[in-house]
């Protein structure tokens, strides 16, 4: 049993992976009573992403919610500042158009959270990466200063 509210088409779903990272998708609605999520995923399911990794063969896929994860929550994290775009006239056609096209997954610049916020709000944002940035940026700045990066 999960404690999530029933999502509405266009809602962002967050699937926790571990303490630091989650996978994100857009709730697409039901087909024959099965709830589906549109999400950015590696085409080659064996591809394991390294942190700060890239995967050239990624795409937006439609999968049953349960296949992506049994634990999830609705996370429309930018609603207060950015009005969500209409699902049926904007988001769904954008998802349908993206499906099957090659997308470069980049954990820093184009991950599943970036893709989900791009669909819902029309802008790319990744709160989980911003949190990581806060942690690693001071270290990187030091290395840059010492010309080690």
Q: For every one of its 149 residues, what pLDDT tens digit does the chain have, with 9 covering 90 and above?
A: 344 578 999 999 999 988 778 999 999 999 999 999 999 987 654 455 544 466 667 899 999 999 999 999 999 999 999 999 999 999 999 999 999 898 888 877 889 999 999 999 999 999 988 887 777 767 766 766 777 65
* Confidence (pLDDT) at 43: 63
pLDDT of residue 3: 46
Residue-level pLDDT at 53: 64
Q: Is 68 left (phi over 0), alpha (psi -120 to 50) or beta?
A: alpha
Chain mean position to CA 34: 21
pLDDT of residue 21: 84
Q: Name all domains of the chain by residue range, CATH numbers in brackets.
A: 11-147 (3.90.1720.10)
Kindly state the tokens that stand for 30: 């039901």
- Quote the pTM value: 0.82
* Whole-number pLDDT of residue 2: 45
**CA pair distance 58, 71, nearest whole angstrom:** 23
Q: What pLDDT does 120 receive?
A: 98
């Amino acid at each position: 049993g999960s404690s999530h509210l029933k999502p509405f088409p266009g809602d962002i779903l967050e699937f926790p992976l571990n303490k630091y990272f989650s996978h994100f998708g857009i709730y697409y609605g039901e087909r024959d009573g099965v709830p589906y999520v549109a999400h950015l995923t590696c085409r080659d399911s064996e591809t394991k992403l390294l942190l700060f990794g890239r995967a050239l063969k990624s795409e937006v896929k439609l999968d049953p919610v349960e296949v992506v994860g049994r634990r999830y929550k609705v996370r429309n994290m930018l609603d207060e500042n950015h009005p969500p775009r209409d699902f049926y006239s904007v988001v769904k056609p954008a998802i349908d158009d993206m499906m099957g096209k090659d997308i470069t997954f980049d954990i820093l610049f184009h991950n599943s959270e970036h893709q989900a916020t791009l669909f819902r709000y029309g802008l790319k944002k990744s709160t989980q990466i911003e949190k990581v940035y806060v942690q690693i940026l001071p270290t990187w700045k030091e290395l840059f200063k010492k010309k080690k990066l």
